[in-house]
Structure 1
């Protein structure tokens, strides 16, 4: 029998067996498939980036985004986006958004503006095809272990951002958080914006919990509402203003998060922020 027929038969058998799987097994299968898809997409995008642009450049992010945008059709996700016009600022800026799960990459690539890169920890550079595609896309890698505070971490990033005239995307919560709220923000992104004297653009994604919840082994189709908020200017601000800027952005994004998610939760007037 031809190998292609064997693969087709195996795929058909898998489809027939899916309804019989337990929720936990089905969840793990979907997660494994998502990880495999990320690896395959990275392996596909890398040679395209090299052929098109010859090496590491932020322009490769457009190739990567176009590939990742197809993932939503596989997983039945729909995006409803508002405020894309707020990305239309001249020169560099710092974009901050909430960080919920491994699916955030799809949300990022769905609305990624031109000339925009992420900040990533240096360890990600050594994750095979994924690390390679991040490198080719111009991701700015930082070594968080060798620094003592956020201001020091971001000083080199600010210079890179200005020298290369790029927008930088940061997750100020610092880690994934799918608990239906926002974690207190770390101050690094806001130090970066103030040091470079560039605007901060908040981006808020609605809660994933109705369709993606690892605790409940839930991973189904769903809708994600996204809102790009108006830029917050930082010209004239100093390091002394970073704490206030961080809290203002946190409160605005948290209120927007609850509204987009349809959560009837009362929003605090203020919230503590991380010291990092």
Structure 2
């Protein structure tokens, strides 16, 4: 029993030490600030997912639950001082299924996605997200489509089912065709799954481009400040009459148009412009 007072003293000292260290690290270490911000970003999303789960569970797994997730996530940009500007939203087809393709830079893409996400639209995500605690369950309840990218046969089967769902349930899907996050300020080559899906379902492709985050966020430099991001919705690309033989050219054409817009909006001072002004910035962006 005599150990308890000592234990409480140690805990109190550790608590006081944290109270001193955390503010010191926050103001003196940009790297520490980066890790604190990212830890809070991920932790806050997990917490919000816990709140969303019982609300979404009333409907069960339903694409309409995505509205609940979107409503709960929209405020995060204000916590980080990130201004998201959307242009071209009038290009969304008003009343038909379509496939959205977007560039993929980091987990912060969630902010731009929630800002512009159309109705009855769900992302296609890697299956690992399903096991991401409360976030995975919330995504499942919201109708997010999970694909095991390591098993090609399963991925093709899921895509075939998605094509039928697009047409029979008036659903739109959001795909990141680069397949993984790209931090180098350009765009990776596109995987063709999203384009095969659109051609198989004979639905339009709606390209969405998010400007470079490099003026306020850089994983390599451990930098995360406030800033601006522009989200540009491009005119839909029709796929009527196209076949699987046309998919490679279609994917290249869409990527070229998206990369052109990415360079434009990342250097116009309204999203990523400071990055391209840095030494080597234009070279890294492929300009």
Counterpart of 1:119 in 2: which secondary structure?
strand
Whole-Å Cα distance in 1 between the matches of residues 81 and 20 of structure 2? 21
* Structure 1 match to 2:253: 248
- What RMSD over aligned residues (CA atoms) do the two structures have, in Å? 2.3
Bigger Cα Rg:
2
1:144-163: CA deviations, max 9, x gaps?
22225975552222122222
Matches within 5 A, 1:116-135: 116-135=121-140
Change (3 A) 1:69 1:13: farther
Matches within 5 A, 1:75-90: 75-90=80-95
How far the C-alpha of 1:120 sits from its partner, in A, is 1.3
Counterpart of 1:249 in 2: which secondary structure?
helix
Whole-Å Cα distance in 1 between the matches of residues 253 and 84 of structure 2? 26
Whole-Å Cα distance in 2 between the matches of residues 100 and 206 of structure 1? 9
How far the C-alpha of 1:126 sits from its partner, in A, is 1.6
TM-score of the pair, normalised by structure 1:
0.87
1:182-241: CA deviations, max 9, x gaps?
001000000000000000000000000111101111000000011100000000000010
Q: Which region of structure 1 is more displaced relative to structure 2, 231-240 or 115-124?
A: 115-124
The answer to whether the aligner puts 1:32 opposite 2:53 as a matched pair is no
How far the C-alpha of 1:242 sits from its partner, in A, is 0.2
* Structure 2 match to 1:4: none
* Structure 2 match to 1:3: none
Counterpart of 2:260 in 1: which secondary structure?
helix
The answer to whether the aligner puts 1:191 opposite 2:191 as a matched pair is no
Counterpart of 1:173 in 2: which secondary structure?
coil
Counterpart of 2:63 in 1: which secondary structure?
coil
Change (3 A) 1:193 1:55: same
Native 8 Å contact 2:206 2:234 kept in 1: yes
Number of positions where the alignment pairs a residue of Structure 1 with one of Structure 2: 258
Matches within 5 A, 1:79-158: 79-148=84-153, 154-158=159-163
* Structure 2 match to 1:178: 183
The answer to whether the aligner puts 1:64 opposite 2:69 as a matched pair is yes
* Structure 1 match to 2:218: 213
TM-score of the pair, normalised by structure 2:
0.84
* Structure 1 match to 2:231: 226
Change (3 A) 1:13 1:86: farther
Change (3 A) 1:10 1:115: farther
Structure 1 gaps, min length 5: 1-8, 269-276
Whole-Å Cα distance in 2 between the matches of residues 198 and 56 of structure 1? 24
* Structure 1 match to 2:9: none
Whole-Å Cα distance in 2 between the matches of residues 11 and 84 of structure 1? 46
* Structure 1 match to 2:53: 46
Native 8 Å contact 1:144 1:153 kept in 2: no
